[in-house]
Structure 1
Amino acid sequence: MKRWGVVLMLWGQAVLAACPALLNHTVPGLMGGQINLCQYADRPLLVVNTASHCGFTPQFTQLESLYKQYGPRGLMVVGFPSNDFLQELDSNSEIGAFCQANYGVTFPMAGKGHVRGADAQPVFKDLIAATDDAPMWNFHKYLVLPGASKVISIGTRTKPDAPEVVNAFLPYLQPETQAATKP
């Protein structure tokens, strides 16, 4: 039994060591718990700053659709609510209820925080440094390719399911199973 504990400890250390610095962040979850971005290091990760009362809020529909369609093949979507543009609800519980009731959001959502400026969350500071592109409005997206080998900044006006976004992450997904392709 003691031997298994040592093996698990060493394996855990190896996994942590393999986490790219860009993803070496744990953030509070919107409805409690923690989101450790290291767990998504081996897959494409779409990071989006969100707001509940923005003209681009309907992009939640496309984000959820991408997550449901491509999540089983490896795509991860994580939303980061922010009031940096004065269009977000006050509390995490209000944001969570809004996202669920209006858009059926099931992908992970971080707790509300800043996405730009001196007060930006560390993960956003790293994304901005990697792309030299800070969010100018809500629903700015960053596509982090596996191993954080490349980060693509995607502007607010580009829909999450636009061909240029989907084509950027498709090569990194697991192949479809035969069962999933049968009618």
Structure 2
Amino acid sequence: MTDKPTRRMVLGGLTAMLAAPAFGETGTFRFPSIDGGEYRLSDWAGRPVLVVNTASLCGFTDQYEGLQALQDRFADQGLVVLAVPSNDFRQELASEDEVKEFCEMTFGLDLPMTEITSVRGPGAHPFYAWLRATHDFTPRWNFNKVLIGADGRFIEAFGSNVRPTSRKLVQAIEGQLTS
């Protein structure tokens, strides 16, 4: 299969998905939860969501501390930090159970977390395929951050080098908080 048909298929599917979204641009996206069940971005309507592709064995893994700090600091004002473990860069543990245990034991994480999910390429989760198609954004490495506004619209993407507690990211989050 060539790149053009794949792109056409993705764009066609995304157009259908976004025809009547329940929550801004992102309302129809669902992620399988690492705990079972699923997360729907529409469940967090009215709240900003920071979606972060993560990996347990990456040099940026210490950013989990900052992600948890953001969640702790801004949760009462509406922020949700969604961790999306991915093995696209071959730096994730072998199973969801291992990822969950590592994150809880090493960082005390209690963020919502998805199952191990592809974030790039032809097998990318629909959210990440949508980011590529509509906002020309594809994670280049682990710990890329995507801020979705309280209205469900894409606000900004931040690379791996932008620390979770950096002034730039915190100011972007503060601009989206409900109170």
TM bucket (normalised to shorter chain) is: 0.7 to 0.9
Give the match's secondary structure for 1:27. Answer: strand
CA distance in 1, matches of 2:44, 2:103: 22
Give the match's secondary structure for 1:31. Answer: coil
CA distance in 2, matches of 1:23, 1:157: 28
Whether the 8 Å CA contact 1:131–1:151 is kept in 2: the answer is no
Question: How far does residue 17 in structure 1 lie from its aligned partner after superposition?
Answer: 5.8
CA distance in 2, matches of 1:110, 1:44: 17
1:36 corresponding residue in structure 2: 40
Give the match's secondary structure for 2:26. Answer: helix
CA deviations 1:40-62 (Å, max 9, x no partner) are 23111100000000000000000
Are the structure 2 counterparts of residues 148 and 129 from structure 1 closer, same or farther at C-alpha, using a change threshold of 3 Å? farther
Question: How far does residue 129 in structure 1 lie from its aligned partner after superposition?
Answer: 2.7
Gaps of 5+ in 1: 1-15, 176-183
- Which amino acid in structure 2 is aligned with residue 39 of structure 1? D
Match for residue 58 of structure 1 among 52, 56, 62: 62
- Written as runs of structure 1 = structure 2, the 5 A alignment for 1:92-171 is 92-171=96-175
Match for residue 72 of structure 2 among 60, 68, 73: 68
Matched, 1:90 2:91: no
Question: How far does residue 145 in structure 1 lie from its aligned partner after superposition?
Answer: 1.1
CA distance in 2, matches of 1:78, 1:38: 13
CA deviations 1:47-80 (Å, max 9, x no partner) are 0000000000000000000001101110110010
The structure with the largest helix share of the pair is 1
Matched, 1:172 2:176: yes
User: How much is the aligned-residue C-alpha RMSD, in angstroms?
Assistant: 1.5
CA deviations 1:86-143 (Å, max 9, x no partner) are 0000110110000000011111000001000110001111123332121010001101
Give the match's secondary structure for 1:108. Answer: coil
Question: How far does residue 23 in structure 1 lie from its aligned partner after superposition?
Answer: 3.1
- Which amino acid in structure 1 is aligned with residue 173 of structure 2? F
CA deviations 1:2-28 (Å, max 9, x no partner) are xxxxxxxxxxxxxx9632342312221
How many residues align structurally? 160
Identity rate of aligned residues, in percent?
37
CA distance in 2, matches of 1:162, 1:145: 18
TM-score (norm 2): 0.84
CA distance in 1, matches of 2:55, 2:21: 34
Which one has a bigger Cα radius of gyration?
1
TM-score (norm 1): 0.82
CA distance in 1, matches of 2:52, 2:133: 16
